[in-house]
Homo-oligomer: A and B are copies of this chain.
């Protein structure tokens, strides 16, 4: 399925701007990035785009499940093109994130989900720091 079809299937009009972003993000390579990172890539590709459009597009892509947003206490939002359930190493010094595939973690015992709620995904974060 090409990017135009992916956008249509997600219920999004394949505008010029969304296609530029889809061509960068939906190439099957897993990556973590900020809105600013993406704008730099757009610029490097010879295009340009308003930061408002980039944020609009990332929000739409996220809400359609084309990308995810990482839980992070950094003040800049970090997005993730790996939409499978997976986990992360986090170097808190640098903010660097490294993917951990789902089958590399085995959660043997999980607490009971609170009454009235449903499990909506489990994420393991392993904080790491550089050896001295």
Contacts and interface: CB of A to CB of B under 8 A. Distances in A.
Interface of A: 69-73, 75, 77-78, 87, 89-92, 98, 100, 104-111, 113-114, 116-131
B106 A130 contact: no
B128 A117 contact: yes
Among A69, A87, A108, A111, the one with the most B-chain Cβ atoms within 10 Å of its Cβ is A111
* Chain A, interface SS category: strand
Contacts of A91: 117
A4 to B, nearest CB: 29
A129 B98 CA distance: 27
Contact of A120 (B87, B92, B107): B92
